[in-house]
Amino acid sequence: MKQRPRAEERFAVSADIAHREINDRLLLLLPGDSRLYAFNDAGRLVWQAVLRKRSATQIAATVAKTFGIPLARAERDVRELLADLLRRGAIRRI
């Protein structure tokens, strides 16, 4: 089983992912999947940060600041989302 994302790790969007922002909503199409995934505002922020090659810690700090939530909670939520995206092949470690 792959390790969960670590604090200083950075990620990149996988080459075979179709993604686009439409009317402030981020939509994602994974290879081999027929459904589109729509991200909420927090998910969109995480995705944008992944595109900018931010580390998991930096992403969590941005999420905590933007949504006014405790850093520990943001770190937990961001790691969970990154782990899920890794598991689905939407992003990869760099």
User: At closest approach, how far in Å is the CB of 25 from another protein?
Assistant: 5
Closest to another protein by CB, 20 or 53: 20
Give the CA dihedral 37, 39, 40, 41, nearest 10 degrees. Answer: -160
User: At closest approach, how far in Å is the CB of 50 from another protein?
Assistant: 13
Q: Which amino acid is at 77?
A: D
Closest to another protein by CB, 7 or 38: 38
User: How far is it, in rounded angstroms, from Cα 84 to Cα 48?
Assistant: 16
User: At closest approach, how far in Å is the CB of 55 from another protein?
Assistant: 22
Give first-to-last CA distance, the chain, whole Å.
Answer: 18
CA–centroid distance for 20 within its chain: 14
Residues in contact with another protein by CB under 8 A are 15-20, 22-23, 25, 27, 29, 31, 34-36, 38
Closest to another protein by CB, 32 or 70: 32
Q: Which amino acid is at 11?
A: F
